[in-house]
Structures are given as structure tokens and as C-alpha cells.
Amino acid sequence: MINSYLDQKCLNEARKLFDENPSSRNVVTWNTMIGGYVKNHQMQYAEDLFDQMPVKDLVSWNTMLSGLQRTRSPEGVYICLLKMGRVGLRPNEYTMSIVITAVLDSVFNVLVSQIHARAICLALKMSVFVGSALIRGYANLRDQVGLQRVFDEIAVKDVTSWNALVTGYMELGSVVEAQRVFDGMPERNVVSWTSLVNGYIGNQRINKARSVFNKMSERNVVSWTVMISGYVQNQNFMDALNIFIWMLRSGNRPNNFTFSSVLNACAGYSSLLLGQQVHSSILKSNIPGDIILSSSLVDMYAKCGDIEAALSIFESIPKKNLVSWNSIIGGYARHGLATRALEEYERMIQGVLRPDEVTFVNVLTACGHGGLVEEGEKYFYSMVEHKVKAGMEHYACMVDLYGRAGKLEKAEELIKGMPFKPDVVVWGALLGACGLHSSLEFGQIAAEGIWKLKNGHPAVYSMLSKIHGEKGAWGRVTELREMMKERRVRKRKAGSWVESPCDFR
């Protein structure tokens, strides 16, 4: 009966039945209830019930470890594993794979080698299950020797273990080794090919990824999505859209992740027409909306100029996450609607969500476009309260804010006080402001800052020439033109985007 309630996600009814029949409880029913809470993301209830269990078996501990891993709590997983050892319970292969997965990309990833040693001491069979998890762990540690050693220890290797090795080498940037392993695989499947494509994309070799993709005899929705997403990451937006059209014509059905990547391509291409066509395709596909897809729609409409459509979709999202909030705040900022952007930010922080680095870039950009210097300073210095460390982009936004407002001295002072060396974007923001206010003094400072970075961007010479020309220093303008000739710096020609017709029907 409890199982039937849990299958219908009626947790309250299952818990009521569980509480009303203490005599019928055994370790299986306890585990079933805990598993139900874990599956429905109610870890606090799961932990409370777990603590009340009179007798726990290996399934009980693995269920809790799995739940803590799902909630991305590596510390919780580590503590739970220690407690399990103290009661004298022996972990199995599933236990080890959960723990390894949990510690990846965290400060606890140093435990990978200890977990490996523990598995050997316990005489656990190095199965594909554990072996693949350990390969990922050593790749995360950037330990190529350990990665290969684990693969060699796997007694019976199947295509999954070979795929894990290819992915591990790709994560380490060892593309030659990854290709060698792939070429030597006794058996390949669509996952093998997709792993290789994704690896080349991750190593910024998009043309090689496309070459491998073209050779695939079989492609699934993941393969197509990986290739589309790869083009978007490399800002080859038209190529991404062309792959999507090819996918539709091949008869493969896109999923939420595919459509999200395609919407990002439309946003990058700044094409409202294509974005609307993709939105129409989503509605025709009857794909259930989720937070990722909805946020991508908000971002696409905002970046393509239809901020009201973006707001309409944003308001329709029942449970908004940080990405959706960042999309609407950033959309208002790009449209110069500073007050509305800040209103959305204030509305967001009144909830349970905490702003991140992207949020503050959007907020500071809004302040810059709206000329809100005091507000910008307030939000910039409030980053510490929200435990967000100011990065290069945030300083560039502040320099731009001060520069637009004509406060060039404050902009230079901020640059001098930065905890790291300014990059070309920061100096470029100051230079742009100098062009706006015809400030030769600070313009020269910004240009020298860019030149010290060995960046000979044509815009530097053009901006300085503009400022000198406005000051009537035509001799200096001639010198700058001669300098451009000597350094073989060519002024970039103006250009425009011409949309190619695409039909997603």
C-alpha cells in the first residue's frame, strides 16, 4: 500500500499509513519511505526518518548517500560515509560510485585516490560501474596516470568503460590520446561518437568536432544537441541553426535541451523572426515547458528586442530560478530600462534566491545605461554582503558607469585600486568614455594601458585620432595614422548582418 501511494507521489498519505501502523514496519518499509522522500527532493524529511530508524542496512545508507549526492552536498556525503564506517557496515560498489560522483568538482575531490585505495582494501571487484566513476574522478583531479591505471584494473571492459576513458582524456585536454583510444575501441556506440564530438568541442576544436559528427552513421537527440550547443558556445550561430534544420529534416525530434540551445543561437544572431519560428516549433511539438526552456525564451526575446514578450513568458513561469531572473534583469538592462531592471532585482532578492556574478553584471550594466551612479556604487559594494566576489566584468561595468557620467577621475582611481591587473575591456571602457567626453588626458592613459597588454586594436587608434581631431591637434592625428601603417594595423570595415531565410515548419 505504501508503495502504491509513493508511486502516485502521495507522500502525505504514505507517511500517515506508515505512522499509523508501527507494528508493520520493517527495514524495507523504512527504506521505502526514505527513498520516497529522496526521489521527491524532500531531504530534510528523509534525514529525520533515517535518524529514527532502529536498524539500518546497506540500502538505507546508500539511499541517504544518493539523496545527499543529488542535493550536491559533498560534505554531507563524506560525513554520512564516515558514520556508515563507524557502525561497521561494509560499503559496496554502488556506495563507492555515489561517493566518487558526489565529490567531483568540489574541495573533497582529493578523496578520490583514498576511495580508490579503500575499494582495493575491501577487495571490491573493479567493475565497470566503479571503474567509470573513478576514471571521472581522476580526470577531475587532472591525474592522467591514475586515470589510465584505473582503466587497466577493470577486469571486464565494455563500451561504457572505453567511453569513460575517451571522455577522461578529453577533459584533460589530451585529444591525441582520446582519439587513439577511440580508434582502438573494440566496439563503439552512439555514446562513443558523441563523447568524442563533445570532447573536441570542449577543447575548442569545433571544426574537428564537426568532421567527426559528419562521419557518424547513427545520431540521437543528444548527438544533435551537443553539436548545436558547440556551435553556440563558439558563437557560430548560423551554423547552429543550419544543424538544427538538418536535424529536423532527418526525422529526429528535438527535446527541451535542443530547443534551448537553438533559442540561444537565435538570441546570439539577434533574429526575432527565427526566434519566433523556433517558439512556434516548440508549441507544435507539445513539449512540456520547463524552467530551462522558459528561461531561454525569456533571454531570446529580450536579446532580440521584444522585451514585452520576454516579460510575458517570465511572468508565466510558476517557479522562477536564478537563470530566469538574470534573463529578465539583463533584458531590461540591455533595453536601457534601468529602473525596471532594478525593480526586478529587488523583487528577486526579497525571495529565497541569492544573486550571483551574472546578476550583478546585469544590475551594474543597467545602472550604467541609466546614468544611476549612486545606485551603481551601492550595488557594487553590496556584492560582499551577498558573498559574490567582484570580477573583471564588474569593474569594467563600474568604469563604464563612471565614464558615461563624466567621472573620469573616479574611473581611473577605481582601475588603480583593482585587486588584479585590468584587461583590455576595462581600459576599453575608459577609452570609450574619453571619446564621449573628448578627454585627451585620460584617453592617452587608457590607450597606453591597452598597448601595454600588447593589444593593437584599431579602435584605440581611431578613438585617439577622434579626440585629437576634436582638439585640433591634426599633427598628432597624422602621427597616429603613420603609426598604424608601421604596425600594420588596419581599420576594420563596417559591416552588417543579413539574415538567411530559415523555415522550421
pLDDT at 408 over 60: yes
The number of helix segments (H) and strand segments (E) in the chain equals 30, 0
The reported pLDDT for the residue numbered 498 is 43
On the 0-12 / 13-18 / 19+ scale of CB atoms within 10 A, 456 is middle
Cα(204)–Cα(504) distance, rounded to whole angstroms? 28
On the 0-12 / 13-18 / 19+ scale of CB atoms within 10 A, 440 is middle
User: Cell numbers 571602457 correspond to what residue?
Assistant: 429
The reported pLDDT for the residue numbered 501 is 47
394 occurs within a structural domain: no
Comparing C-alpha atoms, which of 455, 447, 452 is closest to residue 479? 447
Residue, of 157 and 64, whose pLDDT is higher = 64
The C-alpha cell that represents 450 in the structure block:
591597452
Which of 300, 319, 338 delimits the end of a domain?
Answer: 319
Return contacts of 443-452, CB within 8 angstroms, 24+ apart.
443/467, 445/412, 449/415, 449/422, 450/424
pLDDT at 278 over 90: yes
pLDDT at 475 over 70: no
The reported pLDDT for the residue numbered 437 is 74
Cα(174)–Cα(138) distance, rounded to whole angstroms? 14
The reported pLDDT for the residue numbered 101 is 86
pLDDT at 487 over 70: no
SS (H, E, C) 431-455: HHHHHHHCCHHHHHHHHHHHHHCCC
Q: Do residues 81 and 103 lie in contact, with contact meaning Cβ atoms separated by under 8 Å? A: no
Cα(303)–Cα(153) distance, rounded to whole angstroms? 51
Cα(29)–Cα(51) distance, rounded to whole angstroms? 15
Domain with residue 247: its CATH number is 1.25.40.10
Average pLDDT rounded to a whole number, residues 216-227: 96
Which of 319, 349, 378 delimits the end of a domain?
Answer: 319
Coil, strand, or helix at residue 38?
helix
Q: How far is CA 483 from CA 273, 422, 487, 494, in A?
A: 44, 24, 6, 22
Cα(113)–Cα(132) distance, rounded to whole angstroms? 14
Determine the structural domain holding residue 245 and report its residue range: 219-319
pLDDT at 448 over 50: yes
B/e letters for 401-415, b = 16+ CB within 10 Å, e = fewer, are bbbbbebbebbbebb
33 occurs within a structural domain: no
Encoded amino acid at 243, one letter: I
Of 223-237, 424-438, 444-458, the range with the highest mean pLDDT is 223-237
58 occurs within a structural domain: no
Cα(242)–Cα(199) distance, rounded to whole angstroms? 21
pLDDT at 189 over 90: yes
Q: What is the model's pTM?
A: 0.77
B/e letters for 290-307, b = 16+ CB within 10 Å, e = fewer, are eeebbbbbbbbbbbbebb
Q: Count CB neighbours of 54 within 10 A.
A: 7
Average pLDDT rounded to a whole number, residues 269-281: 93
The reported pLDDT for the residue numbered 395 is 95
E strand or H helix at 377, and its extent?
helix 373-381
128 occurs within a structural domain: no
Cα(438)–Cα(331) distance, rounded to whole angstroms? 30
The reported pLDDT for the residue numbered 298 is 95
pLDDT at 364 over 90: yes
Band (103; pLDDT cuts 50, 70, 90): confident
pLDDT tens across 294-312, in order? Answer: 999 999 999 999 999 999 9
pLDDT tens across 157-179, in order? Answer: 889 999 999 999 999 999 999 99
248 occurs within a structural domain: yes
Cα(487)–Cα(198) distance, rounded to whole angstroms? 39
Contacts of 212 (CB under 8 A, 6+ apart): 193, 196, 197, 200
Residue, of 398 and 498, whose pLDDT is higher = 398
DSSP 351: T
Band (490; pLDDT cuts 50, 70, 90): low
pLDDT at 473 over 70: no
Comparing C-alpha atoms, which of 305, 262, 283 is closest to residue 502? 262
Q: Count CB neighbours of 102 within 10 A.
A: 27
Quote the percentage of the chain above a pLDDT of 90.
53
pLDDT at 505 over 60: no
Using CA atoms of 39, 42, 45, 50 in order, give the dihedral in degrees to the nearest 10. Answer: 40
Q: Do residues 80 and 46 lie in contact, with contact meaning Cβ atoms separated by under 8 Å? A: no
Band (438; pLDDT cuts 50, 70, 90): confident
User: Cell numbers 534525514 correspond to what residue?
Assistant: 47
369 occurs within a structural domain: no
276 occurs within a structural domain: yes
Band (496; pLDDT cuts 50, 70, 90): very low
Query: What is the number of domains present in the chain?
Result: 2
Which of 287, 319, 351 delimits the end of a domain?
Answer: 319
Cα(226)–Cα(244) distance, rounded to whole angstroms? 11
28 occurs within a structural domain: no
The reported pLDDT for the residue numbered 442 is 78
pLDDT at 372 over 90: yes
Of 133-137, 139-143, 341-345, 432-436, the range with the highest mean pLDDT is 341-345
pLDDT tens across 107-122, in order? Answer: 888 888 888 888 777 7
Cα(159)–Cα(98) distance, rounded to whole angstroms? 21
Q: How far is CA 392 from CA 233, 333, 478, in A?
A: 21, 19, 34
Coil, strand, or helix at residue 143?
coil
pLDDT at 471 over 70: no
Q: Do residues 434 and 467 lie in contact, with contact meaning Cβ atoms separated by under 8 Å? A: yes
Contacts of 280 (CB under 8 A, 6+ apart): 504, 505
The reported pLDDT for the residue numbered 13 is 79
The reported pLDDT for the residue numbered 429 is 87
The reported pLDDT for the residue numbered 495 is 47
Calculate the average pLDDT of the chain: 86
Coil, strand, or helix at residue 349?
helix
The reported pLDDT for the residue numbered 154 is 84
The C-alpha cell that represents 394 in the structure block:
564588474
Comparing C-alpha atoms, which of 75, 12, 76, 14 is closest to residue 43? 76
Q: Which of 357-366, 394-403, 486-495 has the lowest mean pLDDT?
A: 486-495
pLDDT at 468 over 60: no
The reported pLDDT for the residue numbered 458 is 59
Tell me how long the chain is: 505
pLDDT at 132 over 60: yes
